[in-house]
Amino acid sequence: MIQFENVFKEYSNGVVAASNINFKIPSGDFVFLVGPSGAGKSTLIKLLIREEQVSRGRILLDGEDITKLRKSQIPKLRRDISVVFQDYRLLDKKTVFENIAYALEIQGESKANIKKAVDEVLELVNLSNKANEYPDQLSGGEKQRVSIARAIVNNAPVLVCDEPTGNLDEETAWDIINALIKINKKGITVIMATHAVNIVNDMQRHVISLADGHVVKDIEKGGYYENNSPNN
Ligand code: ADP
């Protein structure tokens, strides 16, 4: 369970990007963070992985207040909450397999364990046949699925995706969503910040809507605007 309690974030330039934010994301949830550009979606993600620190309030991960973590504890937080970005961030000189294996190698995993774990996540994102290709041989949708596979290979219980389909056409975006659905079915909490109205509407899942740093709507199952006009 992730809980935001009375969270405020004011940047040093005086912009209040999060204002009295309160919500709960149960373990195993699939939740969309929606809202116009500048609404505060990325800020909430940065607060959640302690890339930014709250000005006030608490953020609980399974009951533990992550705003209180010491610097030395932050790498552990980032293993528990893995993030995928719009721009993939793959290593060009490494193959798909090597991109995914890299984090496990640094941790000193055995070759056999690495092979097993990487093969498993490649199958989950439907890319077993691309293991030996390089990123520049892949389509945008395939690159994003590699970055998702890399994010989950460590068994993080929470996967956060910041506009993962932002650079992709709608059909390709659905390949990403289908991979995320499979991942969510394994019990991983999926949090996705997005502008993709059609996807959010078709999915009918938990939707937290932000505007101007406020939560303006939090519905357990619904669409992008849900009883709201696009202009609100
Ligand atoms: P979104 O992800 O919904 O587009 P952001 O969280 O990126 O929204 O931004 C929310 C607000 O905070 C915007 O007004 C943005 O300009 C501002 N902002 C974001 N990051 C910073 C920063 N590092 N310093 C100052 N202002 C920021």
Question: What is the CA(17)–ligand 1 centre distance, in A?
Answer: 6
Q: What is the model's pTM?
A: 0.94
- Pocket of ligand 1, beta carbon within 6 A: 11, 13, 15, 17, 35, 37-43
The amino acid at residue 21 is I
Question: What is the CA(98)–ligand 1 centre distance, in A?
Answer: 34
pLDDT in the model for residue 143: 96
Q: Is the pLDDT of residue 228 over 90?
A: no
Residue nearest to atom 24 of ligand 1 (CA): 11
Q: Is the pLDDT of residue 227 over 80?
A: no
Ligand 1 atom index nearest CA of 35: 3
Query: Residue 126's pLDDT band (boundaries 50, 70, 90)?
Result: very high
What structural domains does the chain harbor?
2-221 (3.40.50.300)
Backbone angles phi, psi at 148, to 5 degrees: -70, -45
Question: What is the CA(42)–ligand 1 centre distance, in A?
Answer: 7
Query: Within the chain, what is the greatest distance between any pair of CA atoms?
Result: 54
Tell me the per-residue pLDDT of 52-66, one tens digit each, with 9 for 90 and over. 999 999 999 999 999
The strand pair at 205-211 and 56-61 is best described as unpaired
pLDDT in the model for residue 232: 41
Calpha distance 90→68 (Å, rounded)? 31
Question: What is the CA(210)–ligand 1 centre distance, in A?
Answer: 12
Residue 103 near residue 113 (C-beta atoms within 8 A)? no
Query: Ligand 1 pocket test: which of 4, 9, 13, 15 has the largest number of ligand atoms within 8 Å of its C-beta?
Result: 15
pLDDT in the model for residue 107: 87
Neighbour count for residue 69 (Cβ, 10 Å): 16
pLDDT in the model for residue 226: 61
Tell me the per-residue pLDDT of 89-108, one tens digit each, with 9 for 90 and over. 999 999 999 999 998 998 89
What's the burial of 17, exposed, middle or buried (CB within 10 Å: 0-12/13-18/19+)?
Answer: buried
Mean pLDDT, the chain, as a whole number? 94
Of 8-22, 109-123, 162-176, the one with minimum mean pLDDT is 162-176
Query: Residue 229's pLDDT band (boundaries 50, 70, 90)?
Result: very low
Question: What is the CA(202)–ligand 1 centre distance, in A?
Answer: 28
